[in-house]
């Protein structure tokens, strides 16, 4: 099915020349003279490259043959990540480039979404909010109560986020995986 210029929006998945892309950012431009157009930044699912593309009135993109499957992340071994299909129990191995930056949010046993293009796994999505334990952070000192102040914390996956001073090592926090920001402390 063809996708018209007017239907483009952030997060939309499109296919051009056989390559699936996700629209990262777009801007509708209406110049004083001439026809309107859309300037978009699109990210390739295959290699992670971000390119800028201009779409003119009448341009069409194809809807990619993408299938999203619920899978369970099992473990990391060397440069491969093992996942299991939660319906068929079939296991697949993905490499660092297929998993990408989301690996810093993945815990063994976590449910993830794996995206397939023409039956080939191309990317992994984790939940937007994850709960992770703080393994290392600076101790609190008397007077560190300002909520605007932050300190770095290393999480159990190795990711580093900025947290408020009142949060301590060993506590579990919720983190937004899209922005890498502290959300709240888990009670």
In this prediction, residues 81-110 reach a mean pLDDT of 91
Q: What are phi and psi of 185, to 5 degrees?
A: -85, 140
pLDDT at 147: 59
- Cα separation, 107 vs 83, in Å, equals 12
- Which residues are bridge partners to 184 per DSSP? 174
User: What is the model's pTM?
Assistant: 0.75
**Per-residue pLDDT tens digits for 125-159:** 899 999 999 999 988 766 655 556 889 999 999 99
- Cα separation, 76 vs 94, in Å, equals 10
* DSSP assignment letter at 174: E
Q: What is the mean pLDDT of the chain?
A: 87
In this prediction, residues 73-92 reach a mean pLDDT of 92
- Cα separation, 108 vs 41, in Å, equals 33
Going along the chain from its start, the domains and CATH numbers come out as 2-62 (2.30.30.30), 66-125 (2.40.50.140), 129-185 (2.40.50.140)
pLDDT at 65: 85
Q: Which of these, 57, 55, 89, 58, lies nearest to 72 by C-alpha position? A: 89
Percent of the chain with pLDDT over 90: 38
Percent of the chain with pLDDT over 70: 95
CA dihedral 120, 19, 45, 117 (to 10 degrees): -20
Is the Cβ–Cβ distance between 130 and 96 less than 8 Å? Answer: no
Determine the Cα angle at 45 with ends 44 and 49, to 5°. 35
Q: DSSP letters of 115-168?
A: EEETTEEEEEE--SEEEEEEEEEPPP-TT---TT-EEEEEETTS-EEEEETT--
Side by side, the strands of the sheet bearing 66-77 are 91-95, 80-85, 66-77, 111-117, 120-125
Helices (H), 35-135: 96-99
User: Quick one: CA dihedral 51, 57, 59, 61, positive or negative?
Assistant: positive
**Per-residue pLDDT tens digits for 18-42:** 888 888 898 888 888 888 888 889 9
pLDDT of residue 104 exceeding 90, the answer is yes
pLDDT at 110: 94
């Amino acid at each position: 099915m063809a996708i018209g210029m007017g239907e483009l929006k952030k997060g939309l998945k499109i296919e051009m020349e056989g390559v699936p892309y996700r629209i990262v950012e777009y801007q509708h431009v209406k110049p004083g003279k001439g026809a309107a157009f859309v300037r978009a930044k699109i990210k390739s699912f295959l290699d992670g490259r971000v390119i800028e593309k201009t779409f003119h009135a009448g341009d069409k993109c194809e809807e990619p043959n993408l299938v999203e499957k619920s899978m369970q992340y099992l473990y990391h071994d060397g440069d491969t990540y093992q996942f299991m299909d939660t319906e068929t129990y079939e296991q697949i191995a993905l490499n660092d480039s297929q998993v990408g930056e989301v690996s810093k949010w993945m815990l063994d046993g976590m449910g993830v979404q794996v995206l397939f293009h023409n039956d080939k796994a191309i990317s992994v999505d984790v939940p937007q909010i994850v709960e992770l334990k703080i393994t290392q952070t600076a101790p609190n000192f008397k007077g560190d109560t300002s909520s605007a102040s932050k300190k770095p914390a290393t999480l159990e996956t190795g990711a580093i986020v900025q947290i408020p001073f009142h949060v301590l090592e060993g506590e579990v926090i919720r983190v937004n995986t899209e922005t890498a920001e502290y959300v709240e402390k888990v009670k």
